[in-house]
């Protein structure tokens, strides 16, 4: 039976699933690599050859391959055990550092002298045009000793996880029998296995719960035509039967996805309107599927959530992650005002900031209670926004305001204050924090410019020393006299007598 997804799925019921992701445990095994993004100006053609000359202005690095699956899982609040292999080299050490920065990830990395850590160097012009990709890698089967160690480590984690992910990037981790060993162990332990495959020999994935090939990979694996929907479904059914998989989820780029099981086929339309970069979208799909299955979400609904998440990340540049807030906002976007869409939790904010930084944008930060918005607040925000390209406002939560201002404050709830702030054109993101000071928030956001009112002295600005330690600046904005929330409340009480 073939069914299209309903045009108006119950978004609220899908959103409800997201709250169950936090704390679930996933074992991810696969080929880890480092993604490097190099940006620069292109103003001339080389006199040596007809190629552009890139004057590099900035670089960034992040986890790639199976590491990007891990990043996405961590962004969803999932606890991850990650098993992989790296070279005894600089890139391997950088991969280790990047994994160590993810608090919910427990890495098990085997270090070997017999291979180098894969690096993908992507070169971009400042306007976002992809100019070149240069890879450095070892593509060969891992040694028997390496495979035995990875298998032993992965199998030892099975009692503690809810779902297993095999992320195959065809760099050698799964070239031998590792996949079949883990699948057999997971089946025995009653744990679902999701495979993001590569190559044409899918026999190694026999017995997996769910395989997620794209259209081209499905064609390579089966040798069958996938040019029209009926042929694609037939090829997926053949693959499912050949390798005794429960289901096949075929990703079809701009056409969405098709979930093919023994007794049903569900087609999902693509969720994004504008595509900025498809890099890493498949990793996001696998991560959301894993988190959803760990939370006991029905497979069709898990596929719907992953389809929405894919729409989120392809609208962003470079490898990106989708948080539960991102997915929730995308599901409910028809019910969200533009202001509400600017209100984010911290993981979502950090993800968005990474996108802005890759675009070369300067990030500013200011904070406050903003209980009753007045001209003094507006002046601060306008000056703050003039000093940066994107302004993040940290907003004290209700409990924090009560501790700072007394039991009668705030006058407005944190949600109301956040919505009012986000309605301002010069505010790009609002993040609520519960502590008495924004110290932890500032350290997570790492703004380029920290802005406070001129009633502060530089030495008293919370986070100022931290921001300046990495080259950021602290700006004291001019105040508009005679305005304060406390004075406004006092005046209202006087006038009401």
**DSSP, res 362:** P
The tokens for 188 are: 């025995």
Instruction: Give every CB contact of residue 68 below 8 A, 6+ residues apart in sequence.
Output: 35, 62, 280, 283, 319
Is residue 283 annotated as a catalytic residue, yes or no? Answer: yes
Distance CA 365, CA 350 (A): 13
CA dihedral 55→317→81→17, nearest 10 degrees, is 170
Q: Distance (Å, rounded) from C-alpha 327 to C-alpha 323?
A: 6
Task: Given the residues 62, 168, 283, 448, select the one marked as catalytic.
Answer: 283
- What is the distance of C-alpha 71 from the center of its chain? 6
To 5 degrees, how large is the angle CA 158–CA 162–CA 168?
70
Whole-number Å distance between alpha carbons of 213 and 198: 8
Closest-CA residue to 283 (of 254, 314, 327, 258):
314
Q: Which residues share a beta bridge with 477? A: 453
Cβ atoms of 16 and 70 closer than 8 Å: no
Where does 76-143 have alpha helices with state H?
Answer: 90-100
> Which tokens sit at 222?
């089966």
In the block, tokens 């000071």 appear at 437
Tokens 């986000």 -> residue: 422
Cα torsion angle, 43, 49, 50, 52, sign: negative
Distance CA 172, CA 175 (A): 5
Catalytic residues: 283
């Amino acid at each position: 039976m073939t069914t299209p997804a309903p045009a108006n799925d119950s978004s609220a019921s899908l959103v409800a699933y997201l709250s169950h992701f936090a704390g679930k445990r996933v074992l991810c095994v696969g080929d880890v690599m480092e993604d490097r993004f190099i940006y620069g100006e292109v103003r001339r053609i080389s006199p040596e050859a007809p190629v552009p000359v890139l004057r590099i202005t900035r670089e960034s690095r992040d986890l790639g391959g199976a590491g990007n699956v891990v990043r996405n899982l961590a962004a969803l609040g999932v606890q991850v055990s990650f098993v992989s292999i790296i070279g005894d080299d600089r890139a391997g050490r950088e991969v280790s550092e990047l994994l160590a920065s993810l608090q919910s990830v427990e890495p098990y990395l085997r270090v070997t002298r017999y291979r180098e850590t894969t690096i993908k160097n992507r070169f971009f012009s400042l306007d976002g045009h992809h100019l070149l990709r240069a890879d450095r890698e070892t593509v060969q089967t891992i040694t028997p000793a390496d495979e035995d160690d990875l298998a032993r480590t992965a199998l030892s984690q099975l009692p503690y996880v809810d779902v297993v992910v095999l992320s195959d990037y065809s760099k050698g981790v799964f070239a031998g029998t590792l996949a079949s060993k883990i699948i057999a162990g997971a089946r025995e332990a009653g744990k679902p296995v999701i495979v993001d495959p590569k190559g044409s020999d899918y026999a190694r994935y026999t017995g997996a719960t769910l395989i997620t090939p794209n259209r081209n990979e499905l064609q390579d694996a089966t040798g069958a035509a996938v040019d029209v929907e009926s042929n694609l479904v037939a090829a997926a059914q053949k693959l499912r039967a050949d390798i005794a998989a429960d289901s096949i989820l075929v990703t079809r780029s701009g056409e969405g996805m098709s979930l093919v099981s023994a007794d049903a086929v569900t087609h999902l339309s693509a969720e994004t309107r504008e595509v900025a970069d498809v890099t890493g979208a498949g990793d996001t799909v696998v991560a959301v599927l894993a988190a959803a299955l760990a939370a006991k979400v029905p497979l069709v609904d898990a596929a719907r959530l992953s389809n929405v998440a894919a729409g989120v990340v392809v609208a962003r540049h470079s490898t990106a992650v989708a948080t539960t807030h991102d997915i929730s906002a995308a599901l409910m976007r028809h019910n969200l005002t533009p202001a509400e869409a600017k209100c984010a939790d911290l993981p979502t904010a950090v993800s968005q900031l990474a996108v802005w930084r890759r675009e070369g944008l300067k990030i500013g930060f200011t904070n406050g209670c903003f209980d009753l918005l007045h001209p003094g607040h507006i002046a601060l925000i306008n000056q703050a926004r003039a000093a940066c390209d994107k302004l993040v406002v940290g907003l004290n939560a209700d409990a924090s305001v009560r501790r700072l201002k007394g039991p009668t404050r705030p006058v407005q709830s944190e949600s109301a204050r956040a919505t009012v702030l986000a309605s301002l054109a010069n505010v790009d993101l609002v993040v609520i924090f519960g502590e008495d000071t924004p110290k932890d928030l500032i350290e997570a956001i790492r703004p380029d410019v920290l802005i406070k009112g001129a009633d502060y002295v530089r030495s008293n600005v919370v986070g100022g020393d931290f921001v300046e330690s990495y080259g950021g600046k602290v700006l004291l904005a001019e105040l508009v006299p005679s305005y304060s929330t406390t004075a406004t409340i006092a005046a209202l009480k006087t006038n009401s007598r």
